[in-house]
Structure 1
Amino acid sequence: MADVVQYKLERMVNELDDLEERGLFSRREIAEIVKQRRKFEYRLKRPSPLKLDFLAYIDYEKHLDSLRSLRKKAVVRQLKQQGNKKLKKSVSDFAGISRILEIYRQATNRFKGDIVLWFQYLQFCKERRNGQMKKILARVIRFHPKVPGLWIYAAAWEFDQNLNVAAARALMQSGLRTCSNSEDLWVEYLRMELTYLNKLKARKVALGEDEGTLVQDKSSVDEKKWRDENKELFMTLDSDKETEEVEPDAQQGELKIDLFQEQGLSILSTVYSSAVEALPSNFGLRVRFLEVLEGIDLARSGEIRNQILADMRKDFSNEPEYWNWLALEESRSKSADPASQLDKAIQVYEEALRVVPSTTMFNLYICFLKEAMGDQNEDNDFVSRTLKVYEMAETTGCITEHLACEHVTFYLQLRRLKEARKLAEKFCKGKFADSVDVWSLRISIEMRCVTEKSLAPSKDDLHSMFDLLRNILGKFSVSKAESLWRVALKFFSNDKDYSNKMVDLSLLSLAKDGGSDIGFSLSSAIVNYVLQKNGIQQARILYKRYLGLPHPGLALYNHCIELETNLASAGDKASLKEARKLYESALTTYDQDVTLWKNYYSLEIKFGTSETSNAVHWRARKAVKDNAVLLSLPQI
């Protein structure tokens, strides 16, 4: 290893001497450069060098070459002021780039599967223009022939930088044979062919042999359309004479065939048919072909557009994605009347619901109506149509839990609380009786109705709400009904009797389902509430009742320990005893929890003695099976 590194450093002597002779670096700086390069070379000669080693070496050499370039410019300026000749290029001007390329070569040999590294290599060659690009492109394509982006990158370089259209076309066609399922390859191949055709036409225009361009100018098209629609606004002088002069030219224009537009149409038709044959079920490909078609001016472009649309309707008429795209296209079409655009889009959605009555289609239609409605909920036409779509989804059996919640919420947005209440009750008694989200929505509506009557709910209202919640909470596990429990605890927080009833109900639920080890803990939330209302003594009584259940859960233990530890920090000695009892009780069940041991050890370090902390440490090492994890913790 040392001999190889020394040999490489000796080969740098000419470069380093040149840098010193030109005054770009001092002898001390060159010694530092040699030191850094020796360090990097040793890192690369390890049995298993890392990718970061190569990248760090490349980064260092790039910065060094940039510094050399800046200092050379400063030397050249000084020579010009003195009237001397320019500096000729020497070995130091090329050695840095050659070294970076060699490091990239070694890195890509080591990490052949790293696409990002290959692209960095290519980008560096492209920026420096050192003549290695074609060779490196061939290598990376040989290693990664199934990556469409590489074929596109290589063809783009041949087309734009190397100006070799034949090579670019050959690369794209080879890529299409290898990656025929790539949507991007087909679209970029079409763009490349049309761009080349447009360049040929621009060349003819520059030579005065043709006029116009294949690129569609939307402003001129719109202006021409507006002029045609408003002919009566314009008055011409000597109209007879003008028509006599214009008509022959117009006839000649109609007879004249634009060969470039015809050729472009032929290319688009050929590529489109081949792409559809290779990707018959790719809807996005057809959409992108239409986008390309809209951006160019081709002969009989309307015919091929209609053909693509007809093919899309034939192949994707059972896909909601197609109908949604078609409706959005109608809504974005250029028309003087925005209302007619919306009507056309709505007609498309209505037809889609007849052809594809699916949940996705109803979702897309409702989203469109809400976006069209905006913040104007007073628009009766859109409101009635949206409600009709919701009802249609329910009658056809396509309604889901999400749509049901949206339907109820839409009534609430319209401030129609009674209808929302009836609908939520209907859903909870019917198809969505087992849906927590629908029940949560209904409970929130019922509570809203109670609070709208008066700020202080009556006993009858509280009783009816408690009965409803008791029936619901008994149906679902505590983990599923988290939102319902939170709402219920908040609602009854100001009534002591019903708060106690909720505590008893929670004890029954937790005895059946058990507590939670992570995440939401119902018992912790209730203990928190009792602590704020009645103080630490009542909170201790309550959490001890919870801890007496079959599976109280680690989350409750952690919460109670945190509560007692905070009070111990304030000087409460009783809380320190309770915290130790909690730790001991928790460790009987969760003795493999490393974090619990760590926290217990921290408590003894802070409040106990060296004997108690060492005892906890010894017990932890004895109890935990994975001692390596235990030792990795900083405080154990």
Structure 2
Amino acid sequence: MADTVQYYMERMLPELEELERKGYFSDVEIKSIIKKRTNQEYAMNRRIVKKIDFLRSIEYEINLEALRKKRKARIVSLDEKKGTTAFSITRRIFLLFKRATNKFRGDLSLWIQYIEFAKSNNAQGVLSAIFVQALQFHPTKPSLWVLAASWEYEENANMAAARLLLQRALRLNPNHPTLWHEYFRLELLYVEKIKLRRRVLGINDDDKATTTTTATDMDIDNDDENDQQQDDSNMIRLPKLTGEDMDNSDSENVDQLKESTTEALKEGTNPILQGLLATIIYKNAIKAHPNDLGFRTTFVDIYRTFSDSEKGCKMVYDSIRQDMSDNAHARAYLATRHLFTKTDTPLEGDDDAKKYISISDPAFVVALKASVDEFNTDVKELCTPLMWQLYVEFLDQWRKVISEENLKLYLTKLLQKTFTACQKQKCLSEALYASWIEYLTDEDQLVNAQVKAKEATKIYSESAPLWIARISLAQREDGDDQPQLALYKIALDKLPSSYDLWATYDDWLHRQSEQNTLDAEEVGDLYMDACQKVTSLLPSVTMATEDRNLIKDLILSSYVRWSGLVGGIQSVRSAYKRVIRNMYPTFEFYKTCLDLENTMGKKDKDGHDSVEFLFEMATRLEDVKEDIYLSHLSYLQSQKKFEKANLVYWKATKEISNKESFDLRYQAITNGKAYNIFSL
């Protein structure tokens, strides 16, 4: 290792001497650089190499180069061409990157940093080699292929190379959607670039008249030509044939030349300029992903970032209609397309606000009517709950956005009509019932909303959202439903494993206590019933599951917190002792109790004994036994109870499986490092 370090350091000496001679760095600074680089070289050449060592060295060299440039700017009299100092540090950075990527070939982020550094230094020759090596080691990373193709197209202006790279990428990764999208975008960018050049040169479909005009015609229409030149003064005009040129040329060849040139220049008949290559890419792409609607709609989004995109978008729409006629989401997308902005200028960004026609635009009403008509056709041809749901979501979305009264009223009436029609077709799903109830509630039709909620819970009796909606409406005085408490009991009997339903019930109990609708004794009894019910979900610790534990933690912890609100710390202790004795509490419950003791029982004379009791009970849990013992020992150390800590440590060593790990962590506590149970 020392020989390798010595080799690298000796290679630096001429460059360092020149840096000192030219005044960039002083003698002391050069010695500091040598010392720093030596340490870095030893780190980078040790037996177990770490990537961070290379990154630190690279960062140091980048900062050093920035300092050299600043000092060079102040010393304007230097002739940089006579030495190699202008590139010595940069060359070392490239060497470090090369060594790092040789050591960590599988680290894609390191290759990306290498590429970005080469780009920032405009090292075009080096970049080509970097991309070749990176793609050899990471042929299945689409981001790298796209980066390489982008560099070839944007920096080298080499469309053929960019196209070839993405074609190779697709051969290796035929099912990756990003590559298809970026290849498609590349071809559209190329066509857009050609179109832009044609506009700068003044070439368009109308130039046919000028290119086929004879010299005699030009003389006759001299005034019109002058007017046209005046109009196109900001364009580069193409040269025209003179009468002498016409006389000296073969008339048949000239006619053929004029005809072929005219046809080639016509944008409307040139297949390449009409996006033929992009169309071919799209058709091949959907063969690789035939049933992915999002994959296809992304092509529309890409098309819409370019000018003259209507024809291409229509091609995508037609393919979706043909291949996905049984897909409700595809039909909804096609119905919504009428509201997309129609513009000849490319859209900037992906902002949804720019995607749709402005509500204030007169064309919006026409487009909305077209979308509604297509949705009405869709729900007739594909009469499924999902199709109706998407139609309802479409109407409700625009109803909430539109502020114009007549249009809002139209959508409101249409939405009610749609719900009724859906019910007649017997397609009301759980989600549609929830949407209908929400709509009626928004329109202050609370009695009707209650009726629908009751109807919904009879059909979908195991739907927590529908029960929650029904219970929330039951508090209305003008309704005829059962009291909320009775409904909660029915719902929880049917859905004892619904976390959302238990969370709603917990909030309701807190509100009843705060509003004094129920006295403290009644709320306490209801909480105890709830605790027993959630415990019955877990008859033993061995039957615990993550979802059920969440419900259990919620109710047991809420009961203890509520006890603290109404009765203080003594009530909290009474509550958690009852729970610990009968209800198999979890680790989260013990954390809640310890938190309450820490906040409410600090000044209480029995506070320390209660905390120790909780720790002793918590150590019965097998999953986190080691962490609880360490937290208990940390607490005893903080209270200067060293004798008790020794007893707890002795007990812990009998129950902990990995005693060596436990001893190391306990040693840190004895050295003053606190161990907090709330950080677990």
TM-score normalized by structure 1? 0.80
Q: Tell me the equivalent position of 1:597.
A: 629
Query: 1:509 corresponds to which residue?
Result: 533
* Pairing 1:587–2:619 present: yes
Q: Measured at CA, do residues 143 and 405 of structure 1 come closer, stay the same or move farther in structure 2, by a change above 3 Å?
A: same
Moved more, 129-138 or 409-418: 129-138
The range that moved more, 302-311 or 168-177, is 302-311
Cα deviations across residues 68-126 of structure 1 (Å, max 9, x unaligned)? 122112111xx2xxxxx744341222221221111111111222222222222122222
1:230: which partner in 2?
A: none
Aligned length: 581
- Would the aligned equivalents of 1:473 and 1:484 in 2 still touch at CA under 8 Å? no
Q: Distance in 2 between matches of 1:271 and 1:11?
A: 52
Conserved? CA contact 1:333–1:341, under 8 Å: no
Structure 1 residue 169: deviation in Å?
Answer: 3.7
Provide the C-alpha distance between the structure 2 equivalents of 1:302 and 1:583, rounded to a whole number of angstroms.
70
Displacement of 1:492 in angstroms is: 3.6
Using a 3 Å threshold, how does the CA distance of structure 1 residues 306 and 42 change in structure 2: closer, same or farther?
same
Equivalent in the alignment of 1:108: 101
Over 3 Å counting, the alpha-carbon distance change for 1:393 and 1:256 in structure 2 is same
C-alpha separation between the residues in 1 aligned to 2:206 and 2:96? Answer: 46
Q: Which residue of 1 aligns with 2:457?
A: 428
Pair 1:337–1:504, CA change in 2 (3 A)? same
Check 1:593–1:476 CA distance in 2 against 1; reply closer, same or farther (3 A cut): farther
Conserved in 2, the CA contact under 8 Å of 1:58 and 1:103?
yes
Structure 2 counterpart of 1:119: 112
Distance 1:267 1:507, change over 3 A: closer
Per-residue deviation at 1:15?
0.1
**Aligned with 1:485 (options 495, 502, 505):** 505
Indicate yes or no: 2:405 matched with 1:348: no
Aligned to 2:66: 66
Equivalent residue number for residue 334 of structure 2:
326
The amino acid that maps onto 1:9 is M
Shift, 1:25, TM fit: 0.5
Tell me if structure 1 keeps the 8 A contact 2:430–2:456.
no
Contact persistence 1:197–1:260 (CA under 8 A): no
Structural mapping, 1:146-545, within 5 Å: 146-193=140-187, 195-196=189-190, 210-211=203-204, 257=263, 258-265=265-272, 268-280=275-287, 281=290, 282-284=292-294, 286-287=296-297, 289-290=299-300, 306-334=314-342, 336-374=362-400, 379-392=408-421, 399-431=428-460, 433-447=461-475, 449-450=476-477, 464-477=483-496, 480=499, 481-493=501-513, 494=516, 495-496=518-519, 498-506=522-530, 508-514=532-538, 520-545=553-578
- The structural deviation recorded for 1:261 is 4.3
CA contact (8 A) 1:320 1:360 kept: yes
C-alpha distance in 1 between matches for 2:512 and 2:192? 74
Once residues 52 and 89 of structure 1 are traced to their aligned partners in structure 2, the CA distance between those partners, rounded to angstroms, is 36
Between the aligned residues of both structures, percent identity stands at 27
Question: Match of 2:467, as an amino acid?
Answer: W
Amino acid at match of 2:470: R
Q: Verify the 8 A CA contact 1:331 1:341 in the aligned structure 2.
A: yes
Deviation (angstroms), 1:271: 4.0
Cα distance in 2 for partners of 1:369, 1:276 equals 33
Give the Cα–Cα distance (whole angstroms) in 1 for the partners of residues 375 and 144 of structure 2.
40
Q: Is 480-489 or 190-199 further displaced after alignment?
A: 190-199
Q: 1:627 to 1:347 in 2, by over 3 A?
A: farther
Alpha-carbon separation, structure 1, partners of 2:160 and 2:142? 19
Following TM superposition, by how much is the alpha carbon of 1:444 offset from its aligned partner in structure 2, in angstroms? 1.8
Structure 2 stretches lacking a partner, 5+ long: 208-222, 229-257, 343-360, 540-547, 671-680
> CA 1:539/1:137 → structure 2, altered by over 3 Å: closer, same or farther?
closer
Partners of 2:328 and 2:592 lie apart in 1 by 49
Alpha-carbon separation, structure 1, partners of 2:191 and 2:455: 64
| Closer, same or farther: CA 14–267 of 1 in aligned 2, 3 Å | farther
1:34-73 equivalent positions in 2, closer than 5 A? 34-73=34-73
Q: Is the 8 A contact 2:191 2:275 kept in 1?
A: no
Residues 170, 180 of structure 2: 8 Å contact kept: yes
The alpha carbon displacement at 1:17 in A equals: 0.7
- CA change 1:400–1:18 in 2 (3 A) is farther
Of 579, 582, 591, 1:549 maps to 582
Equivalent residues of 2:535, 2:583 under 8 A apart: yes
Structure 1: any 5+ residue segments left out of the alignment?
Answer: 80-84, 215-240, 247-251, 454-459
Tell me which residue corresponds to 1:232: none
Structure 1 residue 38: Cα displacement? 0.9
Does structure 1 retain, via aligned residues, the 8 Å contact 2:105–2:137?
Answer: yes
CA positional deviation for 1:359: 4.8
Corresponding residue of 2:16: 16
The answer to whether the 8 Å contact 1:518/1:554 transfers is no
CA RMSD between the two structures: 3.8
